[in-house]
Structure 1
Amino acid sequence: MTAPRVAMVAGETSGDLLAGLILDGLKAQWPGLQSMGIGGAQMRARGFDAWWDSQRLAVHGYNLEVFQRLAELLRTRRQLRERLLAAPPSVFVGVDAPDFNLGLEADLRARGIKTVHFVCPSIWAWRANRVEKIRRAADHVLCIFPFEPALLASHGIAATYVGHPLASVIPLVPDRQAARRRLGLSPQALVLAVLPGSRNSEIRHIAPAFFAAAALVRQAFPAVEIVVPAVPSLIDEVRSAARAAGLESQVRILAGQSHDALAACDCTLIASGTATLEAALFKRPMVIGYRMQSLSWRLMRRKQLQPWVGLPNILCGAFVVPELLQDAATPEALAAEVLRWLRARENSPSTIEALEQRFTALHHELQRDTARLAADAIQKVVSST
């Protein structure tokens, strides 16, 4: 079979990472693969022709902030759609970014272009009304959680469980000391990783409370080492937030290196999102926090279907790690939960061990040959009549 032309759209840093791994599988099956669309550094490293950068799709909130950038997003989607219709690809693969991708997929599919959506929107958590939009948009859905294909099948949507790509990238037994050596940290140091998000607006809303909490943790543990992996383009904003909390000289801001930070740390204070699953796969205690504009928060909460927001809690079906959201995400409350984990290292090590065992079981459940399974499913879509 001639190597196909695969158009893709991935939004933000996490989508770029996921799409890069999928490109590995596609290129293994089709060495002459051509791929193009919207992507980031991970995709470009695989030979992807990025017509626009994935960060263009980075928005924060439910409706309000999307509305503020609506004209730009709609213009980008219209230009991309016109370009793809002018030279139709063999298949379009939308990676996450459902607000952008599902509408584009529906338009392309209506014009005869086959479509695959990678990462099932969280219809099991909130916004269940999206299922009808998925049915119109996607010929096939690639699912990263094992319970999703049956749910989609009940709505007449073809789907394949491909595992979570991160479960194959992150080792089952992370090497804490190797990560510390790479970061120049002492083997005996007490390390807190602070991850306030990968979007400018997340830094604006979340970082002040996170850094204020880190300052309180430092009062209790003056020797704690604080590492902060940041998207390189947002390092100045992260540094400014640390400075405002009086921590500029007490934190180590990293250009990326989030996996090293998570592998090295004893606990992480982390914004809700894909990074929390990464922290779980690194078997690390965490405190999940999140803040957004109040209107966006009220709109989102009305659509929530489960009591949990953090992915580790959703997948475990219990509050295995604390979540402090919106008004509850005060510096004092965040610091108290971090300190509870740090003190458990000495006072209740069995608590830490039980969490590690639970996260190890989750890791095994999510670990599949995602790149191959996704490429096989995409190949079947491409070859179907």
Structure 2
Amino acid sequence: MKLGMVAGEASGDLLGGLLMQGLRTRWPALSAVGIGGPRLQAEGLDSWWPAERLAVHGFVDALKVYLPLVKLRRELGDRLLDARPAAFIGIDAPDFNLGLETRLKQAGLPTVHFVCPSIWAWRGGRVKAIAAAADHVLCLFPFEPALLAKSGIAASYVGHPLADALPLDPPRAAARAALGLAEGEIVVGLLPGSRRSEVRFNAAAFAAAGRRLQAARPGLKLLLPVAPGLRGLVEEALAAAGAADAVQLLDGRSHEVMAASDSLIIASGTATLEAALFKRPMVIGYRMASLNWALMKRMAYQPWVGLPNILAGEFLVPELLQHAMTPEALATATLRWLDDPAACARLVERFTELHLRLRRDTARAAAGALGALLGA
């Protein structure tokens, strides 16, 4: 069994790696080609281009690299059609993958899209592109297949692979020991995002908020896991915030930071769901280019942007977006979590309920859907 795969960001690479592990239980000799990061490559993906080429966010960033991405997608499509894998799985990155899938599907290659684009949150018109691109969609959330079925799109709810992989009881003590932290230390994790644009817009404000927290809680430790290739940019942001010596940088290790922290300041995105599975109190913050923000506001259907809040249908955790995301506001909201153990305990209960809902044995469900599609 040979598959084509593309995952262009850290979150997609993580999902793809877990998916590959599961698919290999059904097809032990599974191999894959395409584009992916270190997780997929560790599972045996032959990545023809660096995954960082696809890590763009928002309309402004996309416009800057539009022509190179179009060229890359055309060349990738040519190679995939020459290789003729049994199927192609596009992992998230819909702006890139849906167009690629459409071409492959038209050429007779079975196509699967893993992670339903958030048509229930914004850009509902994209459902037409999904119908043209994907023979089958693997959905992370239980309400998505029925939504897709209204447009005649075959889909399966496979749950979230991290909900299977992560324990219900987070390994706090083990994570603290691995990071050299004492049990009684107050620790706040800063996760400004895994894209360059996210670091540019979020990291300095997150670090400045951390300095305010240290002023309010002397001895408080700040940990920031750095995505591959972004250390220099993060260091520049910390220096701009006057926090170069206040924050401990770690290469990767975001899950250990989540498990070990008392609270998190975190950029909106898949990482917020990971943090919820680790049962961590968090404050979601996010800034983007002004044009991106104006367009996003016009196309949004819901009052929430954070996945934990969207899935709960209420504001379980604070969201501070664009102009509201100031260091003062981030620090104040984080202190509320640190000062309210009862609220943190209630949040753990809600996140545990969410964790149980998303547990679905994703590997088995995804392998079953792919096997049914291919008759294999």
Task: Sort the TM-score into its range (normalised by shorter chain).
Answer: over 0.9
- Paired residue type of 1:39: G
Q: What CA distance in whole angstroms lies between the structure 1 residues aligned with 2:291 and 2:375? A: 45
Residue matched to 1:188: 184
Structure 1's consecutive aligned runs of 4 or more residues displaced over 4 angstroms after TM superposition are: none
Deviations 1:174-225 (A, max 9, x none): 1211111100011100000000011111111111111111111111112101
Deviations 1:353-374 (A, max 9, x none): 1111000000000012111211
1:367-382 → structure 2 map (5 Å cutoff): 367-382=359-374
- Paired residue type of 1:133: A
CA root-mean-square deviation: 1.1
Aligned partners of 1:13 and 1:55 also within 8 Å: no
Deviation, 1:240, is 2.1
Residue matched to 2:132: 136
Deviation, 1:171, is 1.2
Which of 35, 38, 43 aligns to 2:40? It is 43
Please state if 1:354 is matched with 2:346.
Answer: yes
Deviation, 1:120, is 0.1
The DSSP-based 3-state class of the residue aligned with 2:89 is strand
Residue matched to 1:60: 57
Please state if 1:78 is matched with 2:89.
Answer: no
Q: What CA distance in whole angstroms lies between the structure 2 residues aligned with 1:296 and 1:122? A: 17
Aligned partners of 2:211 and 2:246 also within 8 Å: no
Deviation, 1:25, is 1.8
Residue matched to 2:117: 121
Q: What CA distance in whole angstroms lies between the structure 1 residues aligned with 2:225 and 2:138? A: 29
Aligned partners of 1:144 and 1:366 also within 8 Å: yes
Aligned partners of 1:290 and 1:324 also within 8 Å: yes
- Paired residue type of 2:282: M
- Paired residue type of 1:48: L
Residue matched to 1:235: 231
Unaligned stretches of 5+ residues in structure 2 = none
The DSSP-based 3-state class of the residue aligned with 1:117 is strand
Q: What CA distance in whole angstroms lies between the structure 1 residues aligned with 2:260 and 2:143? A: 31
Residue matched to 2:175: 179
Mean CA deviation greater in 305-314 or 231-240: 231-240
| Corresponding residue pairs, total | 376
- Paired residue type of 1:371: A
Q: What CA distance in whole angstroms lies between the structure 2 residues aligned with 1:84 and 1:280? A: 37
Deviation, 1:351, is 1.1
Q: What CA distance in whole angstroms lies between the structure 1 residues aligned with 2:93 and 2:195? A: 14
TM-score w.r.t. the length of structure 1 is 0.96
TM-score w.r.t. the length of structure 2 is 0.98
- Paired residue type of 1:51: W
Aligned partners of 2:113 and 2:136 also within 8 Å: yes
Q: What CA distance in whole angstroms lies between the structure 2 residues aligned with 1:216 and 1:202? A: 21
Aligned partners of 1:213 and 1:334 also within 8 Å: yes
- Paired residue type of 1:365: R
- Paired residue type of 1:41: P
Q: What CA distance in whole angstroms lies between the structure 2 residues aligned with 1:325 and 1:22? A: 32
The DSSP-based 3-state class of the residue aligned with 2:24 is helix
Please state if 1:21 is matched with 2:13.
Answer: no
- Paired residue type of 1:356: V
Q: What CA distance in whole angstroms lies between the structure 2 residues aligned with 1:340 and 1:216? A: 13
Deviation, 1:232, is 3.4
Aligned partners of 2:113 and 2:138 also within 8 Å: yes
Deviation, 1:326, is 0.6
1:330-341 → structure 2 map (5 Å cutoff): 330-341=326-337
- Paired residue type of 1:361: E
Aligned partners of 2:223 and 2:257 also within 8 Å: yes
- Paired residue type of 1:324: L
Aligned partners of 1:120 and 1:143 also within 8 Å: yes
Residue matched to 2:299: 303
Deviations 1:93-125 (A, max 9, x none): 000000000011111111111100000000000
- Paired residue type of 2:127: V
The DSSP-based 3-state class of the residue aligned with 1:204 is helix
Q: What CA distance in whole angstroms lies between the structure 2 residues aligned with 1:354 and 1:193? A: 20
Residue matched to 1:10: 7
Residue matched to 1:284: 280
Please state if 1:223 is matched with 2:215.
Answer: no
Please state if 1:245 is matched with 2:237.
Answer: no
Residue matched to 1:273: 269
Instruction: Give identity over the alignment, percent.
Output: 57
Deviation, 1:53, is 2.1
Deviation, 1:154, is 1.6
